[in-house]
Amino acid sequence: MLELRGLSKHFGGVKAVDELDITVQEGEIFGLIGPNGSGKSTTINLICGVYQETAGTVRFHEELMNGKPPHQRLRAGIARTFQNIRLFPNLTVWQNLWVAQNSPEDLATQGFLSRWFGATRQTRREIATLLELADLEHKSDELASNLAFGEQRRLEFARAAAARPKLLLLDEPAAGMNRQEIHDLSLRIRRIRDSGVTILLVEHVMELVMGVAEQIAVLNFGQKIASGTPGDVQRNKAVQEAYLGTSDSDAPSLDTGD
Amino acid sequence: MDDYVITVLSNIGMISFIALSAYLLLLTGEISFGQQAYFGLSAYAAGAATAMFQMPIWAGILVGACAAGIIAMVVGALTLQLSGLYFSVATLAFAEMARLILLIVEIQVEVDGEMVGPEGANGFHGIRWMFERDISLTEFMLLIYGLLALTVICLLLVERSRLGSVLRMLGSDDLLAEMQGLNTVRYRILAVGAAGVIAGVGGALYAHFTTYVEPQFFNVMLGVHALAYGLIGGLGTAFGPLIGVAIDVGFLEAIRFIQGYRMIVFGGLVAILLIFMPRGILDEERVHRLKAVFSRRNHARA
């Protein structure tokens, strides 16, 4: 469903992403891992159109995405969350979800007046459901800036769901979470996939990726150094070197913890 | 009410339009130093419509507002590729250009044996609709406040709507708005055009209130004030910029003994407020809390 071919992004002389080939199949959870600065976030930004690629192609459902602005890619079905939480702090929780309903279905079913100056009963019902799933019903009228960290993360997920995505890009969703929260997160990610959404998970926390992803690609210095199932990747020599190096003890462990 | 009070109140009303215009753009995160251009261009266009072509006043206001809105959208389409400071400088440059053009425009037509029309640096005399129709200052003030009320109601409705939320989205994180499926360029141009129309209504009224306009009045200080009103009064609601105007044109004007120092007092006030209330007196947080108080009271009653 998502095909990256020869995708490259150069910032001056730095090759942040270099000749990347990735294929994500419909309905799978695909993990993209790699050390800091290996080009994972750049890849996400290329897929959703924040950056223009230096070379290569991004295809989504066989359709060429190159040159399309971010809002068209969202309407095609690509939504994302952010490594650093990004909400509209001056809008309420309810409004943050309201303004995220920009899928083609929503645009087609809401008339001009009800879209811009009112909220249809269906709109209200959907937002109520999203709030319930995110466990944020009681915070509906709170400004987003007044939410706690965990609540803001849940609101980001709910917002992504409000766009009715076919492909969801999760950019380091486990950042700053403890073990229990990571466990909850992995359940939530599976539930989203089971509802019919394909997931591209960019993550540092091995415990999450190895536990939840079915296919994994490993980046290092912008290049793909390995791919396959979690087992394949863990046994891969190049991967172990990229992460563990020869004497770098600070590098994250590939141990999944189980 | 004596004529002085009516004049002050009318000025508050007319300046409120340009304050609301700058406020609308501040919501979308754009700082325009050029809203005075739309105020001025519309004053000329509306004046020309009634004085040179004998149109009724409502047609004059419509011509002025539409001209301002269309020019604003064209300028907007050209300058919105620029962001932040570059956009501000571009709006300033355009406004000065418009003012300099008005300084050389001379188009006179003969009306009832007299030459009427813009006379370059001498300004545009004889926009005498009020005298010809025998409209009193009070009546004209009511017209100003009627249109102002209409504008404020429209803005308040927009603020409650999804469109209002979208405008605030552009102001706080336009890349995020774009990634959520919104064509940010389109909404920017819409906001710029609406802001032009609002400034235009004010300008059209101004031309007919003073009966005489000159390019010098539409200099950059008018635009800077327009920005300051929103920043003082607050960006949380359309009432914010009105408070800003009332403080400057009303309160400071009324205190006669600071007359000579008005600009110093005003400048100091802006500086102090920007330090302690960066988004004005009625900022989003306070407006949100006020709304919560009111809705609780309504719930209690029901």
In a domain, B252, yes or no: no
Q: CB A116 to CB B183 under 8 A?
A: no
In a domain, B186, yes or no: yes
Q: How confident is the model at residue A258 (pLDDT cuts 50, 70, 90)?
A: very low
Q: For chain B, which residues lie within 8 Å of any Cβ of chain A, measuring from their own Cβ? A: 157, 161-163, 165-166, 168-169, 171-173, 175-184, 284-285, 288, 292
Cβ-based burial of A108 (10 A; exposed 0-12, middle 13-18, buried ≥19): exposed
Name the strand (E) or helix (H) holding A22. Answer: strand A14-24
Q: CB B182 to CB A80 under 8 A?
A: no
In a domain, B124, yes or no: yes
Kindly give the interhelix angle for B35-47 and B57-79, rounded to the nearest 10 degrees: 150
Distance CA A97, CA A103 (A): 12
**Domain covering A1-77+165-258 assigned CATH 3.10.20.30 in the classification:** no
**Amino acid code (one letter) for B191:** A
Cβ-based burial of B74 (10 A; exposed 0-12, middle 13-18, buried ≥19): middle
Residues of B in contact with A89 (CB under 8 A): 172
Number of domains into which chain B is organized: 1
Distance CA A71, CA A82 (A): 16
**Amino acid code (one letter) for A239:** V
Most confident of A92-106, B122-136, B197-211: B197-211
In a domain, B259, yes or no: no
Nearest CA in chain A to B156: A117
At residue B60, does pLDDT exceed 60? yes
Q: What's residue A116's pLDDT?
A: 78
pLDDT per residue as tens digits for the range B207-223: 999 999 999 999 999 99
Strand order in the sheet with A55-60: A14-24, A2-11, A55-60, A63-64
In a domain, B254, yes or no: no
Q: CB B179 to CB A71 under 8 A?
A: yes
Cβ-based burial of A134 (10 A; exposed 0-12, middle 13-18, buried ≥19): buried
Q: CB B179 to CB A50 under 8 A?
A: yes
Q: CB B165 to CB A163 under 8 A?
A: no
Name the residue ranges covered by the structural domains of chain A: 1-77+165-258, 90-163
Structural domain that includes position B167: 3-219
**What six digits make up the tokens of A158?**
């709910």
pLDDT per residue as tens digits for the range B222-256: 999 999 999 999 998 999 999 999 988 877 777 76
Angle at the Cα of B42 from the Cα atoms of B13 and B54, rounded to 5 degrees: 100
In a domain, B209, yes or no: yes
* Average pLDDT rounded to a whole number, residues A52-76: 92
Q: CB B169 to CB A50 under 8 A?
A: no
In a domain, B271, yes or no: no
Computed over every residue of chain A, the mean pLDDT equals 87
Gap from A153 CA to chain B (nearest CA, Å) = 15
More confident residue, A238 or A20: A20
Residues of A in contact with B167 (CB under 8 A): none
Residues of A in contact with B182 (CB under 8 A): 71, 99, 102
Q: Who among B166, B183, B288 is closest to A99 (CB)?
A: B166
Q: CB B157 to CB A69 under 8 A?
A: no
Residue B106 has a CB neighbour count (10 Å cut-off) of 11
